[in-house]
Chain A
Amino acid sequence: MMKPERPVGIIGYGAYIPRFRIAAREIARIWDGAGGTPVDSKSVPGPDEDTITMSIEAARNALARARITPDRLSAVWVGSESPPYSVKPSGTLVAEALGATPWVSAADWEFACKAGSEALTAAMGMVGSGMAQYVLAIGADTAQGRPGDALEYTAAAGAAALLVGPAAEAVAVIEGTTSYVTDTPDFFRRADTTYPVHGHRFTGEPAYFNTLRSAAERLLHDLGAQPSDFTYAVFHQPNTRFPQTVARQLGFTPQQIAPGLLSPRIGNAYSAAALLGLCAILDVAKPGDRIFVATYGSGAGSDAYALRVTEALPERRERAPLTAAYLARETFVDYAVYAKWRGKLVME
């Protein structure tokens, strides 16, 4: 287990989910028609949204909850696999929009669906060493799936921002983290191709399940904790079934994962997926509750975290829209609108 010498925690958090949805049965209407779907619906970014705009809104919510001025941020880090530019950082633009520039570190992190938690772990180190007082770690994605591919049912959009600071100011203290990484080719996209390739069933047991379980079991062992010691748990959610299954394998109950399981309604928000689930849990958690978090990124790795909620949470969570407010504004679009907005029509 890794933990900094100086205790750290989350002092503000912010969610963002676009208002648009497409129903999985609408995708099935075009491509398949039969069989079950991995989620009920997924979020769709509006035509003026991308990883940068979603990061900005999630980050503003995190700053509003923490009530610190943006010039006090030492770093603004964006984890994503869908940056709007191939070369030109997202972090600089996000930092500028927040008002954190120019005396700030800004960078983009990359690790498939766990790019955001990479930034979170690094933020723990930065604050935990005393090098920084406040660091903003963001996970955000507008994921793409090849039309008709299994991935198209789930590849969604969202952002989550976690503001890391000293434990004394935290709404949730981070007790420790583990990171488990191997070279496992379950999902990848080559440069200059539009859509990623995935290993079908290979993405399951050797990739998601083994990797996430390894990080989670090690953290539980090192903490001397049992799944029953936690009030809530959230896992990376590429669909509905994977997080339910890994929770059962680890010994967590359906009740523990229910508040953070957003994938049935919004699909897989990639770098934001598990972190949005954490935001939804922080929206309802009480002081003293412990929260277990495990992310997953293809390639492959998992970061697990244990958090303990403080007395500061109830008041601070009211300062920005709850995750439920974003979940509630559901506007469904059909496949034609979705195809136009997501750049699936060849125009020239």
Chain B
Amino acid sequence: MDLAKHWRLRHARYRLEGQRNRLTGEVRFPPAPPRPGEAEDVWEPYVLSGRGRVYSFSVVRQPPEGFEDQPPYLVALVRLDEGPMVTAQLTDCDLDQAAIDMPVEMVTRRLRDLGPTGLIVYGYKFRPIVQR
């Protein structure tokens, strides 16, 4: 059931928590262990703003296993304001509405339902920005 895997990823998935380098200020996502030669604590947890722009996108009509009930759906590369690029679904977005450079914001949604004896997996998606 991969319970441990889903549990380990919860901070990154639920709240887009990456890392920031204490020395250089560089922000990265997803979080990773220190590189060879780096101090153990040089990367600190850092919650990204969730704001970004669509770098590119595609419509998925032939879904991978586990996503059979979802097509057609949008998958995008999103360039986050802090710099990192993430791959994620677009939600609350019509297929003909998606566009390169479209401003988007992160929302936490259901990614997958692993069935009556499995977990509901939650994580980040992006949507067109709701007006403030």
Contact = CB atoms under 8 A, between A and B. Distances in A.
B120 interface: yes
Main secondary structure of the interface of A (DSSP, over half): loop
B11 interface: yes
Interface residues of B, number: 23
A84 B130 contact: no
A321 B131 contact: yes
A197 interface: no
A93 B122 contact: yes
A53 B132 contact: no
Interface string A36-74: 000000000011111011001100000000000000000
Interface in A301-329: 318-322, 325-326, 329
A47 B108 contact: no
A91 B14 CA distance: 13
B15 A53 contact: no
Given A53-B122, A99-B47, A19 B131 contact: no
B109 A318 contact: no
Most chain B CB atoms below 10 A, which of A48, A84, A96, A98: A48
Contact of A57 (B15, B17, B89, B107): B107
B122 A97 contact: yes
Given A48-B91, A320-B132, A326-B130, A84 B14 contact: no
B130 A321 contact: yes
Interface residues of A, number: 26
Interface in B53-109: 69-70, 89, 91-92, 94, 107-109
Given A46-B91, A46-B92, A93-B122, A53 B110 contact: yes
Nearest to B45: A99
B108 A56 contact: yes
B28 interface: no
B14 A49 contact: no
B132 A85 contact: no
Interface string B108-120: 1111000000001
B108 A53 contact: yes
Nearest to A329: B130
Contacts of B109: 46, 48-49, 53
B70 A47 contact: yes
A97 B14 CA distance: 5
Contacts of B120: 50, 84-85
Given A49-B109, A97-B108, A99-B17, 19 more contacts: A19-B92, A46-B91, A46-B92, A48-B109, A48-B111, A53-B122, A85-B120, A93-B14, A93-B122, A96-B15, A98-B15, A321-B130, A321-B131, A321-B132, A325-B130, A325-B131, A325-B132, A326-B130, A331-B94
